[in-house]
Chains A and B, each alone.
Chain A
Amino acid sequence: MKKATAIFEEGHHRWYAIARDPMRPSFLIDTNEYLVQSGHDALLTDPGGMEIFPTVFSALAEVVDPTQVRQIFASHQDPDVISSLALWIAFNPNIRCHISRLWETFIPHFGGDKQTLIGMPDEGKELHVGVAQLQAVSAHYLHSSGNFHLYDPTAKILFSGDVGAALLPEDDNALYVKDFDRHIAYAKGFHVRWMGSNQAKRDWCERVSKLTIEQLCPQHGAIYRGADVMRFINWFDELKVGMA
C-alpha cells in the first residue's frame, strides 16, 4: 500500500508525498502523488492512473479529509498522471483540474468536462490553495508539448512532473535520493528518451536555477533535496536529450 509522508510542514501549510507502492502490480509504472494542504484546502498533483485510485485515495485519507481536495494539478496528459480523474469527480463533482490549455479537450476522454478542466495559458499562472500561493511553471516539451511544474515559494518545493524521474530497482524504496551518482544512472535513459527538446531543457534549467528550491519532487522515483537539487539541474543541463 502507498503511504503519505509529510515532506514539509509550517503551521497549517503542509506537503505530503504519497510515494512508492511496493504492492503495486509490476505492469504499472510506480508514481508519486503530492498533496499540498493549506488550512482546510488541499491540492493534489498528478493524482495518478485509474488503477491506483484506491491506494492513493486511502493513503491520502489517512492524513487529510479527502473532501478538502478541491483542486488537481496535472503536469500533463499522460494516463499515469490523470486517468483517475473520473473517480475523483465521482467522489467530488466540484473538483477542479488545472492542466495546459492544450489538453483541455483531450482529458475529458478520461473524465471531466468544461467545468472540471481549467486550461492554463502557456506562460503558466498562479494557483491558490488556502492562503498559499503557488506558481505553475511552464515546462513545455519536457516531455509533453503542454507541460507544467508547480512551485511553492514558501515550502521551496518544485513539483517537477516527469523531469527528475528515475526508474529505480524494485527494492529501492527510499523517499529521498541518497547517493546522487548512483541514482542518476537510473534517471539517464528516461530523460534521454522522454525529454524531447534540448532548447526547452536549456530554457527550463535557466529559469528553474533562479528559484530557491529545497526539494525537487518528481512524479517517478526519489525526491532530490539540498545540494542534489542543483546537482540535478546541472546534470540535466549537460545531458543531450531527444534521442531514441
Chain B
Amino acid sequence: MGCHVSAMSSVQSHELQRFIMLREGIKEVAFRAFQIKLLALNATLLAKRFGEQARGFVVISTELRDFSQLLRTQMEGLGENSTKLVSLASYELKLLRQLNLLTRAGQHTSHDRLQNAQGQLQTQHQQLQRQMGQIHSAMQTWVDDAYQACLFGTVIARTAKIEAAHAGPLGAALADASNQFSNYVEQILPNLEQLKQALKG
C-alpha cells in the first residue's frame, strides 16, 4: 500500500507539471488575443479615415475586436480554472505524502485511530479527485468553445482581406492589417490544438 501510494504521488507530480504547462499555453493564447484586439482597434480607426469606401472593413475589424475579447474572456476563465487545478494538484501531493507516511506507520502498528486517519485522508483524496475531474471537464468545454470561436475568427480575418482589397488604391494599410489578423488567428489555432491535447492528458 505504501509503495502504491508513492507510485501514485509520482503520477500526481507529473499531473502537476502538466497543469503548470497548461497554464503557460493559456497565457500564450490570451496574449495573442490581446494583440488581435489592439490591431483591431487601430484598424477600425484607420478604416474610419477612409470613409464610405472602407465601411465594410470597419464592421469586420469590429467583429475581430469582439472575437478577440471573447477569446480573452475564455482564456481568463480557463486561466482561473487552471490555477485552481494547480493548487488542488499540489494539495493532492501533500495529501498523498501524508497518506503514505500514515500507511507506513500502520504497517508496524495497527491502531483504530490510525486507520480512521487513513480513511479520512482517502475520503479527502477522493473528493479532491472528483473536484479536479469536474474542473478538468469544464476546461475541456472552454477550450472546445474557444477553438470554435477561433475557426470563426479565421473566416472573419479572410473576409477582412477581401474588404481591404475593396478599399481602393489607399487600402494598402488595411491589407497589411488584414494580413496581420490572419497571421495572429492562425497562430492561435495550433496553440488551442495543443491545449485540447494537453487536456485530454
Closest to A92 in B: B113
Knowing A86-B98, A90-B102, say if A57 contacts B109 (CB, 8 Å): yes
CA distance A91 to B105 in the complex (A): 11
- Asked if A153 is an interface residue, CB under 8 A from chain B, the answer is no
The number of inter-chain residue pairs (CB within 8 angstroms) is: 45
B contact residues around A87 at 8 Å (CB): 98, 101-102, 105
**Is chain B's interface secondary structure helix, strand, loop, or mixed overall?**
helix
Q: Are B109 and A58 in contact (CB under 8 A)?
A: yes
Q: Are A90 and B105 in contact (CB under 8 A)?
A: no
Among A48-56, A129-137, A220-228, the stretch that binds chain B is A48-56
B104-156 with Cβ < 8 A to chain A = 104-105, 107-109, 111, 113-114, 117, 120-121
Q: Are A54 and B98 in contact (CB under 8 A)?
A: no
| Most interface-central of A51, A61, A92 (chain B CB within 10 A) | A61
Q: Are A91 and B109 in contact (CB under 8 A)?
A: no
Q: Are B120 and A90 in contact (CB under 8 A)?
A: yes
- Min CB gap A102→B, angstroms: 25
CA distance A57 to B105 in the complex (A): 6
Closest to A65 in B: B111
A contact residues around B104 at 8 Å (CB): 54
Knowing A51-B101, A57-B105, say if A90 contacts B111 (CB, 8 Å): no
Q: List 26 A-B contacts (CB under 8 A).
A: A50-B97, A50-B98, A50-B101, A51-B101, A53-B101, A53-B102, A53-B105, A54-B105, A54-B108, A57-B109, A58-B109, A61-B108, A61-B111, A62-B109, A66-B109, A66-B111, A67-B111, A67-B113, A86-B98, A87-B101, A90-B98, A90-B117, A90-B121, A91-B114, A91-B117, A92-B113
